[in-house]
């Protein structure tokens, strides 16, 4: 039960002070991660007096759901308030045979990528493992009786800067006695912190990894991603190579097409050289509008970029953008609760 101990230390304290038997911790962990309890009254496997004590001292929900927005394409966005008053966002994207939750790991983000709304916020703090995992639990309650099939760590924040809490949350999501989602259905995206990519490669679970590359050229990358001044593309590719050699898993390179910035034929040509490995996959997406001065490459031009990439032998896809009408698409999460409310549905207790 060591994972439960780390995940809900406050609960363990309550159990200890009441002299509860050891198996109770497992029951509580199960009620949260599998039963998706948001109120201890729902945890009917626990004795009434214990439920009351927990209600007082260690609430079942650490995040308060303050708004739920629904896009015309079915994408849903959850706005949460943390116990210390910060706002974070989570997105659930339904597809034919999938339900993907996109979760946040930090309040804001310190990486300051020039095109990203979260990057404009700066960083307030790291989220705790419980706050990271609870985003998935809430989405899972929301979509029930359907199930969450995938989790992507592509919301607010640079996950690798919050490594310990990130990994604990992912292990709980993966744990059979926790949320029980296969590791292959969980993916983390990083702006490219090389030490952490190596560390991630050595983890025993088969979590997937995506690296935000956005251009194959050093100087251009420095302009749009300050992290590029810390690690050169050569260093990044060394770490990428370490990942695929160690795990033998596919590695995804995220590439946001910015009009006139990184969407020229010369970019495709350089990418074809840089990503010359059978396990590398190029994931193109068009820029989603943020107030950062960038513009999206048109759909036909994005298609052309994709076709040229394939022609040059790259394994590549162009990802459709989802949830744009509620600012829920990649890079748009900024938890600006002052924005005029659109498509907001009444708050239901989920």
Instruction: List the catalytic residues.
Output: 89, 330
Number of residues that bind ligand SF4 (CB under 6 A): 10
Task: Please tell me whether residue 189 binds ligand SAH under the rule CB under 6 A.
Answer: yes
CB 244 within 8 A of CB 277: yes
Number of residues that bind ligand SAH (CB under 6 A): 17
Residue among 158, 165, 175, 327 that touches ligand SAH (CB under 6 A):
158
Tokens 């690798």 belong to 160
Stretch that binds ligand SAH, among 66-74, 77-85, 113-121, 122-130 (CB under 6 A): 113-121
**Smallest separation (angstroms) from ligand SAH to the CB of 21:** 42
Cα separation, 144 vs 147, whole angstroms = 6
Task: Please tell me whether residue 135 binds ligand SAH under the rule CB under 6 A.
Answer: no
Specify the residue, 154 or 335, whose C-beta has the smaller distance to ligand SAH.
154
**Smallest separation (angstroms) from ligand SAH to the CB of 40:** 33
**Smallest separation (angstroms) from ligand SAH to the CB of 257:** 8
Stretch that binds ligand SF4, among 29-37, 115-123, 232-240, 310-318 (CB under 6 A): 115-123
Alpha-carbon dihedral sign for residues 24, 30, 58, 348: negative
Alpha-carbon dihedral sign for residues 179, 212, 246, 127: negative
Within the chain, where are the H helices? 2-7, 9-17, 23-33, 48-57, 117-121, 129-143, 163-174, 194-201, 218-224, 233-247, 265-274, 299-311
Residue among 104, 174, 212, 297 that touches ligand SAH (CB under 6 A):
212
**Smallest separation (angstroms) from ligand SF4 to the CB of 129:** 19
Specify the residue, 8 or 188, whose C-beta has the smaller distance to ligand SF4.
188
Tell me which residue has its CB nearest to ligand SAH: 331
Cα separation, 22 vs 79, whole angstroms = 36
Q: DSSP class of residue 156?
A: S
What backbone phi and psi angles, to 5 degrees, belong to 176?
Answer: -60, -35
Among 336, 316, 326, 341, which residue's Cα sits nearest to residue 72? Answer: 326
From the list ligand SF4, ligand SAH, none, partner contacted by residue 20 (C-beta under 5 to 8 A by kind) = none
Tokens 């919301």 belong to 155
**Smallest separation (angstroms) from ligand SF4 to the CB of 41:** 37
Task: Please tell me whether residue 328 binds ligand SF4 under the rule CB under 6 A.
Answer: no
Cα separation, 188 vs 311, whole angstroms = 28
């Amino acid at each position: 039960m060591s994972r439960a101990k780390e995940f809900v230390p406050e609960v363990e304290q309550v159990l200890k002070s009441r002299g509860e038997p050891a198996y109770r911790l497992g029951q509580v962990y199960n009620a949260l991660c599998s039963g998706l309890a948001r109120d201890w009254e729902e945890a009917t496997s626990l004795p009434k007096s214990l439920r009351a004590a927990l209600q007082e001292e260690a609430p079942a929900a650490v995040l308060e759901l303050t708004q739920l927005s629904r896009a015309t394409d079915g994408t849903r966005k959850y706005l949460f308030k943390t116990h210390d008053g910060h706002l974070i966002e989570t997105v659930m994207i339904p597809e034919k045979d999938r339900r993907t939750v996109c979760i946040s790991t930090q309040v804001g983000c310190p990486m300051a990528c020039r095109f990203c709304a979260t990057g404009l916020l700066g960083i307030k703090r790291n989220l705790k493992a419980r706050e990271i995992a609870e985003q998935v639990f809430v989405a899972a309650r929301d979509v029930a009786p359907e199930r969450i099939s995938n989790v992507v760590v592509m919301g607010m924040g640079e996950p690798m800067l919050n490594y310990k809490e990130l990994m604990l949350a992912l292990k709980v999501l993966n744990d059979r006695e926790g949320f029980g989602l296969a590791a292959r259905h969980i993916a983390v995206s990083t702006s490219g912190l090389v030490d952490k990519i190596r560390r991630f490669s050595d983890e025993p679970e088969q979590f997937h990894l995506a690296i935000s590359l956005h251009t194959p050229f050093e100087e251009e990358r420095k302009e749009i991603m300050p992290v590029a001044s810390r690690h050169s593309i050569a260093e990044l590719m060394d770490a990428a190579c370490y990942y695929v050699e160690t795990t033998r898993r596919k590695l995804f390179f995220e590439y946001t097409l910015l009009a006139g910035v990184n969407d020229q034929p010369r970019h495709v040509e350089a990418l074809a050289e840089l990503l010359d490995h059978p396990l590398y996959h190029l994931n193109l997406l068009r820029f989603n509008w943020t107030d950062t001065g960038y513009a999206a490459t048109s759909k036909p031009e994005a298609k052309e970029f994709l076709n040229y990439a394939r022609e040059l032998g790259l394994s590549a896809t162009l990802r459709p953008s989802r949830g744009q009408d509620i600012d829920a698409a990649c890079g748009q999460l900024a938890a600006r609760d002052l924005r005029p409310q659109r498509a907001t549905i009444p708050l239901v207790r989920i």
